[in-house]
Amino acid sequence: METQIPNRLSTLGHPQRLSLFRLLMRRYPDRVPATELAQALGLKPSTLSTYVNALMHAGLIRQERVGTSLRYAIHIEAARETIDYLILDCCRGRPDICSPELYPTPVGETATSDSKFNVLFVCTGNSARSIFAEAILRDLAGDRFAAYSAGTKPGSKLNPLAVEVLEQKAHDVSALRSKNISQFQGADAPTFDFVFTVCNRAANEECASWQGQPVTAHWGLPDPVKVEGSDAEKSLAFHQTYGALRTRMTGFIHLPIASLNRISLQKAVDDLGQSKEEGTAL
């Protein structure tokens, strides 16, 4: 293993290769199309190919072909092996050298049956998907979870079709509004236990580390706002998105959080985000 570590560290020493590695770490366990990676990082396809090949040669990422599309994902065992080498070998795992802040207390180890968790849903516009998630969680389990949503580039108002769907489902929309993610990154912001991205674009963006190291996961869904066609087709897209989020939220609120350690809890929320089940108009 040690003979591979210098090559991996050298490969990650290049700023843009490191950015690509970090993006794929944020998206794990997703397999991300090359076109999406190039767009997210502002790279020409030929430049992306050079960086991808370097990371693959170092064994840090994997490639697979889906139809005509090449997709990439972190080789998580190699990434963990490299990070473990720095923490466990170089500093010998000593807590006085390796800051205890690197090992936050797992949510599941401090939770009780009476715990209330702060959950933030993030997308780009904060006008539909993250708003759906906030409203659904608040109504399904408001006594156990405090739900929030925000956008990395929010608009000035909610999408009218999203509001219409929520009203049809008997949600109170009076308190819902688009908010910038910066509102939740200050010293007076809530400390979040969970942060979920619900669109690929938001997941691909660089964000500051969250205070308290919450459990994070990507629950990406297609943007219903971008659906073209008849009014009925657009409405169906919003209803399907709502249904998919409600299905995931139902699974989330039934997780035995108090009895799960950090690794088990992370896998559980990742699995919910990987669900391909189509939403229905519940």
Q: What is the pLDDT of residue 259?
A: 85
Separation between Cα atoms, residue 58 and residue 32, nearest integer Å:
19
Q: What is the pLDDT of residue 242?
A: 97
Q: What is the pLDDT of residue 111?
A: 56
pTM: 0.75
**Which tokens sit at 227?**
């659906």
Q: Which domains does the chain have, with CATH numbers?
A: 5-94 (1.10.10.10), 107-273 (3.40.50.2300)
Q: What is the pLDDT of residue 108?
A: 52
Q: What is the pLDDT of residue 121?
A: 97
Q: What is the pLDDT of residue 279?
A: 45
Is residue 37 within a helix (H) or strand (E), and if so which, with residue range?
helix 34-41
Closest CA to 37 of 11, 19, 54: 19
Q: What is the pLDDT of residue 243?
A: 96
Q: What is the pLDDT of residue 258?
A: 83
State which residues of the chain have pLDDT below 70: 1-2, 92-114, 206-209, 276-282
Closest CA to 158 of 146, 142, 175, 141: 175
